[in-house]
Amino acid sequence: MNKPKVGVFGFTGCGGCQLEILNLEDQLLDLVNAIEIVHFTELVTEYSDTYEIALVEGSITTKHGVERIKKIGNIAKTIVAIGACAVTGGLNCLKNLYGPEKAKELVYGDKKDWIDSIEVKPIDAYVKVDYYARGCPPNRFEIVDIIRSLIVGRKPEIPNYPVCIECKRNGNTCVFELGITCMGPVSRAGCNSRCPNSVSGCEACRGVIDDPNVNAHKDLLSEYGLTVEDIMEGFNLYNACKGKTIEKRDK
């Protein structure tokens, strides 16, 4: 079997998703053997005209970015969005809360017109995304699983149940008991509840499950004396762009 040509592309983000691939230390050599990496900004200089699989990191925040992602959409057979910035727009979307002009002014002052920056969007606002490796950072083993599945022609299994399930399985004390706000009840699992494992609240970096039990979460919040506003601040961290989409999907 021919090795699939894989490109790893970075848009606006921190580069942490690409780093998580490099952090596969034990599996990296096997991975490199199973695929042909033809572009990887953090690792490889080469380029290609076509790609079997494009792993795309980062959100689209500039006009130039829009052109690039569309081009990748044309030359890649399968697109996998990796990491919160690509999947939901991620933390970059916090900028949208200001509107681009105000944000430019805050950071660049009277030189703001020199800066190319548009409303932040996830990549599926511009191209069809086949699979999503969610999270900030994404779970590197999930990325491997998606690639492996694509090679053998099976559908990757991405969890669609709340983080609470993993958290319970890990035997953690519920962080609400410790006075910590947590998005676990409505957030998509697949991270092995890594924040609650570290006695921190889930920040919903993997987005929200398809059918969240919002009312139960609200009850839970009121039981612990919290409001929806308290939690929306946390939720906004990674999902400020996706708010509307999620509301639509909930109905």
Question: Which positions lie near another protein, rule CB under 8 A?
Answer: 10-20, 22-23, 25-26, 28-29, 32, 37, 40-47, 61-62, 64-65, 90-92, 94-95, 98, 102-104, 106-109, 111, 114-117, 136-137, 194-195, 197-200, 203, 233, 237
| Residue closer to another protein, measured from CB, 48 or 197 | 197
Can you tell me which residue has the tokens 């953690």? 172
- Report the run of H or E that residue 28 belongs to, with start and end: helix 25-34
C-alpha 31/C-alpha 42 separation (Å) is: 16
| Residue closer to another protein, measured from CB, 44 or 214 | 44
Burial class (CB in 10 A: 0-12, 13-18, 19+), 100: middle
Least spacing, CB of residue 167 vs another protein, in Å: 14
| Residue closer to another protein, measured from CB, 132 or 238 | 238
CA-closest candidate to residue 80, choices 52, 53, 48: 53
Torsion region of 171: left, alpha or beta (phi above 0 gives left; psi -120 to 50 gives alpha): left
Q: Are 196 and 163 in contact (CB under 8 A)?
A: yes
For 39-99, where are the alpha helices, taking DSSP H only?
63-75, 84-87
| Residue closer to another protein, measured from CB, 197 or 245 | 197
- CA-derived radius of gyration, the chain: 19
Least spacing, CB of residue 74 vs another protein, in Å: 19
Instruction: Using alpha carbons only, give the angle 55, 89, 251 rounded to the nearest 5 degrees.
Output: 110
Least spacing, CB of residue 15 vs another protein, in Å: 4
| Residue closer to another protein, measured from CB, 99 or 213 | 99
Least spacing, CB of residue 251 vs another protein, in Å: 30
C-alpha 156/C-alpha 78 separation (Å) is: 13
Least spacing, CB of residue 13 vs another protein, in Å: 7
Least spacing, CB of residue 117 vs another protein, in Å: 6
Least spacing, CB of residue 153 vs another protein, in Å: 25
C-alpha 97/C-alpha 23 separation (Å) is: 33
